[in-house]
Amino acid sequence: MSVFKSSDGTKINYEITGSGEPLIMIHGMNGNMRMFEYNKEQLSATYQVITYDVRGHGQSDRPYSYTIDDHIDDCLELLSHLQLKKAHLLGYSMGSYIALGVTSRYPRKVDKLILVGAKAHATVSSFARLMMEHRNEIKNKPKEEVKKILDHHIYYNQEKVRSWQQLVNDYSQLDANEEAAASRSITGFDYRETLNKLPNETLLIAGRYDNLNAPEESQYIAERIPNGRMVLFEHSGHAPLVEESERFAEEIKMFLA
């Protein structure tokens, strides 16, 4: 594990595994770099895999307030800190919004782009929207019961996802205020006008049963990026990186090769 300071003094925790062309992997909201534990070993056999805890998460600093622009700056500064002129970029869920933001601003710093469970714009977080849609179903339920109900709308393979979530939570968890700050940071972004200007080869990965960021959101992006295409995972919800982890790693290796 290593640490660098972003331009505003925020400490960002990162880890490098393997060697080869650099591949930066950006995790989802309320998660941490351990979200990629199921994939890192396979990918690091061929690539220099760089994972990090985005600000507000994991072992990185957790400021009270930050924005998606801060997330984008942190990723760019990680590239600079590691003296990388460019890297492949993979973003999962919230990480896909950050990766798309980095690529929209500085496409030459990104080699190939992989977006998992993505969307191109948001006025509220996907989780907040899902809670509103199922408000009658979760009304007056305890927190753990609410989580079980919503997980059935988000994921397909519940058994695999539970083990994965435990691995992530054992590394770090956010309290209610930190979760709220994380949620606020990914509202109000819109990349729709930039998609057709991106020159990067782009792979969209979506799970058929994802009701958090539906496959149609990924298809929308894939159809507008000139060198974009989408792969649909038939036995996954919002976490194909876990629900179909072996296929996930193979699709990425084929795309990057």
Residues 160 and 66: their CA atoms lie apart, in Å, by 32
Q: What angle do CA 208, 213, 215 make, to 5 degrees?
A: 35
Percent of the chain with pLDDT over 90: 86
Neighbours of 93 (CB within 10 A): 28
Provide the pairing of β-strand 121-122 with 189-190.
antiparallel
The SS3 of residue 2 is strand
| Residue 140 binned pLDDT confidence (cut-offs 50, 70, 90) | confident
Query: What H or E segment, with its residue span, contains residue 104?
Result: helix 94-105
At 79-119, the pLDDT tens digits run 999 999 999 999 999 999 999 999 999 999 999 999 999 99
- Give the structural domain span for 8: 2-256
Averaged confidence pLDDT in the chain: 95
At 193-210, the pLDDT tens digits run 999 999 999 999 999 999
| Residue 127 binned pLDDT confidence (cut-offs 50, 70, 90) | confident
CATH of the domain at 158: 3.40.50.1820
Higher-confidence residue of 16 and 134: namely 16
Higher-confidence residue of 256 and 128: namely 256
The number of folded domains in the chain is 1
CA-nearest of 27, 38, 96, 103 to 60 is 27
- What does pTM read for this prediction? 0.95
Q: What is the pLDDT, as a whole number, of residue 178?
A: 96
